[in-house]
Amino acid sequence: MSAGVQVPVAPGVAPDAPPRRRRRRVNLPGLALVVALAVLWEVLVRTVLRAFDNLAPTTEIIRSFGELVARGDLAAQIGHTVAVTLIGWVVSTVVGVVLGVWLGLSGVAWRWSMASVEVLRSLPSIAFVPVAILVFGFSEQMELVLIMYVCLWPVLIATIEGVRGVGPGLLDSARTLNLGRLRTWRCVVLPAAVPRLLVGVRLALALAVALAVIAEMLGNPAGLGFGIVFAQRGFQPGQVFAYLFTIGIVGWALNALFTAAVRMFAPRFAGSL
Amino acid sequence: MSAAGRVAAGSAPAVADDAAPGGVSVECRGLSIDVPTDDGPKRIVEGLDLRVEPGEFVCVLGASGVGKTTVLRALGGLVPPTPGSVLEVDGRPVDGPPDAGVMVFQNYASSLLPWRTALSNVELPLEGSVRDRGTRRERAMAALRLVGLADRHAAYPAELSGGMQQRVQIARALVVRPRVLFMDEPFGALDAMTREGLQDELLRIHARTAMTVVFITHDIEEAVYLGTRLIVLEGRPSAVGHDLRSPIGPDREQVATKESAEYLRLRHELYAAVRGERSGGAP
């Protein structure tokens, strides 16, 4: 594309505002609240919630976290879960986009497959865990296949909707300007589909993390999902909570990385996320 | 691009000569158009005969729902007429959007590519035909200059006002050096001040390029001010009800022209024609 000056200005931003990058400053009130909640939890667990034997106070969670890090378990488990998540997500994104563009552009293909897509995508993804274990056994393969299958749908649906949802005004313009079919796809239809597509891809990433953890809990003895279940079976409340927060942070970090990547490589579309 | 072209791109008046291949004729004989509805195809236009001479500025009026836009979309090759209709641009049958003609739509916001800058939007139609990037850019800049938007070439559509966005759309149409412009209520969504400014710019561009313009509007004042000829569509299905030639000369000015006797007389005549259709045509 040949834009003279690529300034990432979100729609709605005053056009004459200087194109300054929004600087991330430390959110002090937000940080203070986190600390306050941690202290509150410590106090609650040691007083009001005493009856629950297996609740870990904040200090205990931090201690367990340190232990897990020191043993080297946590790094390996994070590595496994993140790797499997990313591989499954990338594969299903590529497949979903290619398939989605084809289904979105071809009326015949869409008519034939619409019913199947609608049924398959509305099946709850968790229900496929036993199926995947049955077919692939307790293995990494099972985990990967599960993630790919589940991630495929949001990407596929978002791509189809994006391609089919291109405004009639844009298509009329493409026709009256005699852009031709190929150029219409490349310059009008595909870019117009990108915002919806990105939403689907981002949703798929969140699903990928969730499904990786579930698959590790139920099927594949590795990664963070296995870690948290193992700690639970060994009655290690401190570790269970440490894993819980680790999983949360991994999911948050992956999402943040994705958003940052979009902002860096496709700033015009960052507003659609 | 030749040296002459480079010079042309540097100054606005010369640019117009660069983009001035003159107008072409538009003709339809026995034009009928069916549009699909839930109860099968419905005939919107029947037996419409019209010949637009090269360089004419024809304003098409009519009550809403009479099929003005449909006729224009048929002329622009976006809607197929029924078999047996004759539809020609520059003597060649229309079968899809003609090379010589470009449409300008009322809804500028949905017609521009929001992810491209104004300049890049205007370059779009050249990307298939003009290989050299520099030439493409020069021509697009010249078109933007023609509509007075050269200084905002780097802005995205969302950063421009409605009137500016419509100018970008007009520039995008002009950049392919069309010989006929099909304009569908292009100023309908703009405020009165902006609209008058754009009307004058369009008249200026028309005078310079001598291209043919078919201009749909529901605004009688606008039609009288702009048109060299005025067509009123009436009936259901519709056809040409009135065909008036404007006595107003080519030099038009918002205040003086609108106070002139010819303007007032034509306006009166046109009101009568359109109102007659409205009272007679309402079910």
Interface test with B, best of A1, A9, A176 (most B CBs within 10 A): A176
- The per-residue pLDDT for B212 is 93
Chain B contact probe: residue of A177, A186, A262 with most B CBs at under 10 A: A177
Domains of chain B, residue spans: 1-94+180-187+205-283, 101-177
How high is the pLDDT of residue A148? 93
Helices (H), chain A: 28-46, 58-71, 73-105, 107-122, 128-136, 140-164, 168-176, 181-183, 190-218, 223-233, 237-265
Convert the pLDDT of each residue in B104-117 to its tens digit.
Answer: 999 988 999 998 99
Pick the CATH number of B1-94+180-187+205-283 from 3.40.630.10, 3.40.50.300, 3.20.20.70, 3.40.50.450: 3.40.50.300
Chain-centre distance of CA A177, in angstroms? 39
The whole-number pLDDT of residue B14 equals 37
Residue A235 lies in a domain: yes
What pLDDT, in 10s, does the model give residues B192-236?
A: 888 888 899 899 889 888 899 999 998 888 999 999 999 988 878
pLDDT tens, residue by residue, A106-123? 878 888 888 888 888 788
Average pLDDT, chain B: 84
Amino acid A95: pLDDT? 95
Tell me which chain B residue has its CA closest to the CA of residue A170. B111
**A53 in any annotated domain:** no
Tell me, yes or no, whether A210 lies in a domain. Answer: yes
* A217-238 tens-digit pLDDT: 988 888 899 999 998 998 988 8
Total domains in chain A come to 1
Look-up of token digits 């039609």: B223
* Residue B15 pLDDT greater than 70, yes or no: no
Does position B11 have pLDDT exceeding 90, yes or no? Answer: no
Nearest 5°: phi and psi at A259?
-60, -40
Candidate from B111, B133, B176 with C-beta closest to A2: B133
Q: Chain A window 175-234: which residues touch B at a Cβ cutoff of 8 Å?
A: 175-180, 183, 187-188, 191-192, 194
Q: CB–CB of B114 and A176 under 8 A?
A: no
Domain carrying residue A200? 74-166+194-272
Please report the pLDDT score of residue B277 as a whole number: 53
**Residue A21, pLDDT score:** 54
Longest Cα separation, chain B: 62
Tell me, what CATH number does A261's domain have? 1.10.3720.10
Residue at A224 is within a domain = yes
Residues of chain A with pLDDT under 50: 1-19
Tell me how close the Cα of B121 comes to any Cα of chain A, in angstroms. Answer: 9
At A54, phi and psi to the nearest 5? -105, 35
A184 in a domain, yes or no? no
Is A34 inside a domain boundary? Answer: no
Contact assignment for A173 to B111 by CB distance below 8 Å:
yes
Query: Which two tokens mark A3?
Result: 């834009």
| DSSP of B25-57 | -EEEEEEEEEEEETTEEEEEEEEEEEEEPTT-E
**ipTM of predicted complex:** 0.82
User: DSSP assignment, residue A11?
Assistant: T
User: What pLDDT, in 10s, does the model give residues B60-101?
Assistant: 998 888 888 999 999 999 998 888 888 999 888 888 898 889
B27 has which bridge partners?
B51, B88
What's the confidence (pLDDT) of residue B56? 92
